């Protein structure tokens, strides 16, 4: 999905003016490069249909942050899941991507040549959800005996398998119903008791369908042994090795936009809702998705010390170990140094 060229919205007009003013005041050398007289053209692959935590790409495009860094984002493509996004970027089908980072570890264990650049979700936004007036889900042991709607692929399945194993629950202690995405209606219609859900994606929609705020029981994985990163920005080993300057400039623009998203969720939500006619009524949904991340996943003790998007070896090793211990890495556990590169975060300079 490419953000169409258009006049900035009223909410963004002031910010765009500021961005243009800053660009006008800087020299050509400040732009960070690309080919002489031109911009480096890149493509971005998202993990799924548009949601709040994709906003950084669109903000950076709309406010000129990519252009400030000598980059033209030719296309931002929506996707069908993290595994596909990781494979597409790893195969050279796009330059940068956004995906579930535990899925990146799994992909890396299968020799997909990708590395994380930014941990957007410092903890996983994945949870098990139920409709409260049908099935109570207050403790991890409440999952036993329930009928779970499961899609046996992708980030939600990795989460489901690992969460159960981390808590000593065998899969045969639940009834499993095979469902295909989007599978939220299975829960609302009472065809299953619980489904994996992202608090920054499906939960607001599910709440609306189930009766409003407080109508769901939400068992957050990060509170029950699923100690892993959530989603993040990634690229290929090849691009890191052969054009680290481009990777740095893209990361700088992305982090600048990330801070804007945290500071201005309503404006970001409005921008996302205007990327296509079918999303015109989605601003409130996007804002609620973003607020869930702001409240629960975007920040951590590490980001307080090192800045948004921060990554460290200890948390990556925890992510790898959690997946490996539960048998989720069928290709064998990769080294932490194979799944992330913090160089570009470390070299990022705030402001600009």
pLDDT at 9: 42
CATH of 10-123+229-346, one of 3.30.565.10, 3.40.50.2020, 3.40.190.10, 3.90.226.10: 3.40.190.10
Closest C-alpha to 135, from 239, 236, 216, 26: 216
- 267 contacts 11 by C-beta, under 8 angstroms: yes
- 218 contacts 308 by C-beta, under 8 angstroms: no
Topology alike, domains 10-123+229-346 and 126-223:
yes
Closest C-alpha to 117, from 286, 10, 249: 249
pLDDT at 180: 81
Look at residue 22 and tell me whether its pLDDT is greater than 50: no
- 213 contacts 292 by C-beta, under 8 angstroms: no
The residue-averaged pLDDT of 170-174 equals 97
Which sign, positive or negative, has the C-alpha torsion 313, 314, 316, 320?
A: positive
**Percentage with pLDDT > 70 across the chain:** 89
For residue 202, give the 3-state DSSP assignment: helix
- 119 contacts 100 by C-beta, under 8 angstroms: no
Burial 27-65 (b: 16+ CB within 10 A, else e): eeeebbbbeeeebbebbbbbbbebbbbbbbbbbbbbbbb
Write the class of the CATH domain 126-223. alpha beta
Report long-range pairs for 77-81 (Cβ below 8 Å, ≥24 apart).
Answer: 77/1, 77/43, 77/44, 77/45, 77/46, 78/1, 78/46, 78/48, 78/49, 78/50, 79/45, 79/46, 79/47, 79/48, 79/49, 80/48, 81/47, 81/48, 81/153, 81/154, 81/155, 81/181
pLDDT at 16: 43
Helix pair angle (154-166, 82-90), 10° resolution: 120
pLDDT at 317: 95
Look at residue 4 and tell me whether its pLDDT is greater than 60: no
Nearby residues of 127 by Cβ (< 8 Å), 6 or more positions away: 196, 197, 198, 199, 203, 218, 219, 220, 221
- 203 contacts 295 by C-beta, under 8 angstroms: no
Q: Which helix (H) or strand (E) holds 32?
A: none
Q: Which helix (H) or strand (E) holds 142?
A: none
- 95 contacts 230 by C-beta, under 8 angstroms: no
DSSP 281: T
pLDDT at 26: 39
pLDDT at 258: 98
- 111 contacts 70 by C-beta, under 8 angstroms: no
Look at residue 127 and tell me whether its pLDDT is greater than 60: yes
Whole-number Cα distances in Å, 248 to 118, 123, 220, 243, 252: 11, 24, 33, 9, 6
- 302 contacts 292 by C-beta, under 8 angstroms: no
Domain boundaries, the chain: 10-123+229-346, 126-223
Report the DSSP pairing between strands 126-131 and 231-236. Answer: unpaired
Measured in whole angstroms, how far is the alpha carbon of residue 25 from the centre of its chain? 33
Q: Rounded CA gap, 125 and 231, in Å?
A: 8
Which band of pLDDT confidence, cut at 50, 70 and 90, is reported for residue 322? confident
Q: Rounded CA gap, 110 and 250, in Å?
A: 27
pLDDT at 128: 96
């Amino acid at each position: 999905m490419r953000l169409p060229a258009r006049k900035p919205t009223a909410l963004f007009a002031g910010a765009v003016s500021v961005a243009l003013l800053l660009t006008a005041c800087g020299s050509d050398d400040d732009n960070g490069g690309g080919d002489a007289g031109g911009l480096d053209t890149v493509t971005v692959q998202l993990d799924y249909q548009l949601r709040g935590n994709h906003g950084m790409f669109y903000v950076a495009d709309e406010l000129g942050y990519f252009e400030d860094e000598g980059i033209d984002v030719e296309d931002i493509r929506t996707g069908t899941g993290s595994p596909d996004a990781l494979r597409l970027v790893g195969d050279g089908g796009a330059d940068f991507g956004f995906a579930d980072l535990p899925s990146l570890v799994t992909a890396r264990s299968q020799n997909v040549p990708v590395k994380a650049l930014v941990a957007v979700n410092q903890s996983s936004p994945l949870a098990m959800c139920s409709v409260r007036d049908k099935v109570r889900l207050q403790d991890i042991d409440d999952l036993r005996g329930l009928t779970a709607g499961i899609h046996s692929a992708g980030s939600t399945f990795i989460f489901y398998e690992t969460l159960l194993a981390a808590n000593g629950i065998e899969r045969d202690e639940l009834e499993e119903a095979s469902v295909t995405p989007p599978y939220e209606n299975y829960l609302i219609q009472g065809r299953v008791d619980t489904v994996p859900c992202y608090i920054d994606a499906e939960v607001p929609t599910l709440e609306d369908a189930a009766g409003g705020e407080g109508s769901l029981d939400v068992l957050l994985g990060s509170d029950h042994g699923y100690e892993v990163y959530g989603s993040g920005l990634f690229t290929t080993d090849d691009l890191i090795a052969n054009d680290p300057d481009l990777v740095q400039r893209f990361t700088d623009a992305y982090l600048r936009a990330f801070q804007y998203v945290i500071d201005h969720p309503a404006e970001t939500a409005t921008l996302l809702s205007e990327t296509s006619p079918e999303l015109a009524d989605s601003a409130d949904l996007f804002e609620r998705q973003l607020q869930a991340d702001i409240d629960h996943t975007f920040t951590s003790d590490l980001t307080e010390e090192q800045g948004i998007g921060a990554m460290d070896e200890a948390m990556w090793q925890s992510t790898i170990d959690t997946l490996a211990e539960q048998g989720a890495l069928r290709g064998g556990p990769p080294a932490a140094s194979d799944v992330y590169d913090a160089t570009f975060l470390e070299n990022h300079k705030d402001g600009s």
